[in-house]
Amino acid sequence: MATRALLADLAAAALAVGAPPLEIESVGGVDAAVRVAAGEQVDLVFLASGALSSLARDAHLDASTVTPIALSQVAVAVPSEGAGPATAPGATAFRDASGLRAALRAAERVGYSTGPSGTALVGMIEEWGFTGELGDRLVQARPGVPVAASLAVGDVDLGFQQLSELVGQPGIRILGVLPADCAIDTVFSGAVAAASTDPAAAAEMLAFFASKEMRTVLEGHSFTPV
């Protein structure tokens, strides 16, 4: 889901230079991996690099075509009402990891997503020994449901998700990305599916998505080119 709007704009850019139209279905990463593993007929797959590597090992993808596309950072957000002024682009939410730990302890309910960013956050909380302390205050969003939605309706008061999925969402204020000493970064990659009916055309489309010419498209969606 983090790459939904990005992929739509990349496909539009490809179409503008003569590439064939690309029909894109964006679903939660877990569901996408299950469907590809089941042999669903698709030409290209875009997922976090770890998930793509697993599919490639099991020959559901052409491993030689795995191509990094964009790096995504996890950001922190709160409900917007009474939250103060907007944070400057590129800002970090806290000075360091100690600031994040204090915020977690102070929050009534902490929202996080499915997929790699949520898994990484939970793992970090476990390493800090906070799992028992936070308990049921940790609230995982349902697959395909953005954390921003939970923040906007007041189900959680501190939310963590890919920056690209938080930008532009109503009812929230983004505090910034996680500080360097506890940053959670995800590289999203693409690959040609083993079930592709036209792997050559799929590979050409993938190469265009990863080209330098698409850098501004990535940056426009709060991704960093790889």
Tens of pLDDT along 34-65?
999 999 999 999 999 999 999 999 999 999 99
| pLDDT(84) > 60 | no
156, 75: one domain: yes
* Higher-pLDDT residue of 98, 86: 98
Residue 82: its pLDDT value, please? 53
Q: In this structure, are 77 and 178 located in the same domain?
A: yes
Residue 215 gets the label, from left (phi > 0), alpha (psi -120 to 50) or beta, of: alpha
Percentage of the chain surpassing pLDDT 90?
Answer: 82
Kindly report the pTM of this predicted structure.
Answer: 0.80
- Judged by DSSP in three states, 178 sits in coil
User: What six digits make up the tokens of 123?
Assistant: 């793992």
Identify whether residues 117 and 155 lie together within a single domain: yes
Last residue of a domain, one of 182, 197, 215: 182
Q: List the CATH number of the domain containing 144.
A: 3.40.190.10
**Per mean pLDDT, which of 116-125, 141-150, 193-202 is the most reliable?**
193-202
* 130 and 144 assigned to the same domain: yes
**Residue 144 clears pLDDT 80, i.e. is over it:** no
Under the banding of pLDDT at 50, 70 and 90, the label for residue 191 is very high
Same domain for 35 and 86:
no
pLDDT of residue 89: 60
R_g of the chain, CA atoms, integer Å: 18
The maximal CA–CA distance of the chain, rounded, in angstroms, is 56
pLDDT interval class at 116 (50, 70, 90): confident
Q: Are 177 and 78 in the same domain? A: yes
Give the range of the structural domain holding residue 128, as residue numbers without chain letter: 71-182
- Are 76 and 171 members of one domain? yes
DSSP reduced 3-state for 92:
strand
Number of domains in the chain: 2
Cβ(147)–Cβ(78) below 8 Å: no
Amino acid 115: pLDDT: 77
Whether 79 and 63 share a structural domain: no
pLDDT(114) > 90 = no
Same domain, 105 and 175: yes
107 and 204, same domain (yes or no): no
